[in-house]
Structure 1
Amino acid sequence: MSLHQRILGDIEDRILSGEWQPGFRIPFEVDLAEQYKCSRMTVNKALTQLAKTGLIERRRKSGSYVTQPRAQSAVLEIRDIKLEVQSLGLAYDYKLIAKARRRSNADDRARLGLEAAAPVLDITCTHFAGSRPFCVEQRLINLAAVPDAGEEDFEEMAPGPWLLNRVPWSAAEHTIRAVAANEPVAAALGLAVGTPCLTVERRTWSNGSYITHVRLIYPGERHALVANFTPSQPK
């Protein structure tokens, strides 16, 4: 391994592990050159490569800073959040916050399109990118449609990929909203109460029955939604 590759790898590891958070100023070239006993040209080569990959931003007369990764989700796709995080070059983690099995209330029935009271599983969890919260997931599962979900603890696997692996869905509906973080969401995402957030709500169903309703709540400044489409064809 060349010295510039070693420097490159060391800095990448510190960024991707979360040791150097977004906004952190990387040591100046002269300091890194002294640390690695090399020329500034070698350090500059490593930093230039990191800037090209988008991990750092180089600012004239100010130095180099760890960039804020911006996630992009396809609006009309159901994607595994773990893969979304890993596509940013960050380590993924997941934490279950709460799980409760209960009879549906009026709000649950509206979210799941239920006409009468039925058993539901109410799950709240946080997904992480590196050491930082990536999004909060608030999910309802219709246990009449997916009874096996009631036996899962969801400590190790998030409910999204669990459902995708076990229950074929035939249609989905997305709703996108701008919301202000309330106290539970702000605490889970490490934000101030009232911080603008982006919420993607999705219902999926199969054979005429709703399977699940989920709210995915992202810090607004760190997330973007992308939709691909083509011009409609004249009839």
Structure 2
Amino acid sequence: MNWQATLQLDGSGPLYEQIKRAIVRPIRESLWKPGDRIPPEHDLLRHFQASRMTINRALRELAEEGYVTRHRRVGSFVASPPAPTAILDIVDMATIIPSRGQHYRYERISRDIVKPGHELATRLGIGPDEEVCRVVGRHFADGEIVELEERWINLTAVPEAATLPFDDVSPNHWLVSHVPWTEAEHTISAISADAGLASALGCPAGAACLLLERRTFLDDQVVTFARLTHPGSRHRLTERFKPGSSR
């Protein structure tokens, strides 16, 4: 393919934005497939008659938006599209990420036995002075952070969690494997990453993120409450349903 003929500026707006649109166009039109290499930066520099800083900014923002992946000393490549995740399923990242052919890794950030306070106690259906296990960790796919998991486990419902470190296995994976549940409640929100969340997710401050808050029940007892935050460029939700179905 003659990429020089494919990558054309549209003359509208700042040069780096025109370059971004020029690169996105063949990706959206499937002329460039996931894994295809983007022309090298020095070739783009000459083709667009742009500075190295302008080319770098365009590629950096395309990477942040999920269109390309950048590898130092190797180049930039068309990114794989975010894998769809069912809205109403309890998804185990330790299972779904390897099933897509990607390398999975979990990293625990912190684990504590704490008193939840009034707001979280209400969500967990317990008293504010009862202790819960709080675990914060990150899930990676091919080295990229795809989910920040903040979880509170009701120790009245799952007392064995009080002694588990959750250092190699995420609480979600352990709960799915060991604790039965009868019902789940999901609340989905679009949020912007503040400085702390951006640092935890490895995304720019102000980036669009998807927040899924989940309560899981065993009969009338809340087993766990979780806040699962995803960088918007690396995640999407999909649900298939039939006419007449209701939730």
TM-score if structure 2 supplies the norm length? 0.67
Question: Bigger shift: 165-174 or 66-75?
Answer: 66-75
Output aligned runs, 1:1-235, within 5 Å: 51=33, 54-56=34-36, 65-232=77-244
**Contact persistence 1:68–1:222 (CA under 8 A):** no
- The Cα shift of 1:164 comes to 1.2
Counterpart Cα distance in 1 of 2:211 and 2:120: 18
8 Å contact 1:133–1:189 — kept in the other structure?
Answer: yes
CA distance in 2, matches of 1:67, 1:197: 18
Shift of 1:66: 3.2
Deviation at 1:72, TM superposition (A): 1.5
Structure 1 residue identity aligned to 2:159: P
- Which runs of 4 or more aligned residues in structure 1 lie more than 6 Å from their structure 2 counterparts after TM superposition? 61-64
Map of 1:24 onto structure 2:
none
Count, aligned residues: 182
Task: Point out where structure 1 has 5 or more consecutive residues left out of the alignment.
Answer: 1-49
Alpha carbons 1:176, 1:200 under 8 Å: kept: yes
Deviation at 1:58, TM superposition (A): 7.1
CA distance in 2, matches of 1:148, 1:75: 29
Once the two structures are superposed, residues 177-196 of structure 1 have per-residue CA deviations (whole angstroms, 9 ceiling, x without a partner) of 00111233211211122211
The CA distance in 2 between the partners of 1:93 and 1:221, in whole Å, is 19
C-alpha distance in 1, partners of 2:240/2:144? 29
Deviations 1:110-159, CA, capped at 9 Å, x for gaps: 33133553111111101111111111001110011100001000011000
Q: CA RMSD in A?
A: 2.4
Could you say which residue in structure 2 is the equivalent of 1:5?
A: none
Deviation at 1:176, TM superposition (A): 0.5
Q: Is the 8 A contact 1:93 1:128 kept in 2?
A: yes
Q: Please, what TM-score do these two structures have when normalized by structure 1?
A: 0.70
1:73/1:226 contact within 8 Å kept: yes
Corresponding letter in the other structure for 1:203: R
Which residue does the alignment assign to 1:10?
none
- What is the identity, as a one-letter code, of the residue corresponding to 1:56? D
Q: Summarize deviations over 1:16-49 as a string: whole Å, max 9, x none.
A: xxxxxxxxxxxxxxxxxxxxxxxxxxxxxxxxxx
Distance 1:55 1:174 in 2: 34
For residues 71 and 110 of structure 1, the distance between their equivalents in structure 2, rounded to whole angstroms, comes to 34
The separation in 2 between residues aligned to 1:84 and 1:56, in whole angstroms, is 24
Contact in 2 for aligned 1:69/1:88 (Cα 8 Å): no
Deviations 1:205-225 (A, max 9, x none): 102110001111111122110
Question: Partners in 2 of 1:102 and 1:84 — Cα distance?
Answer: 30
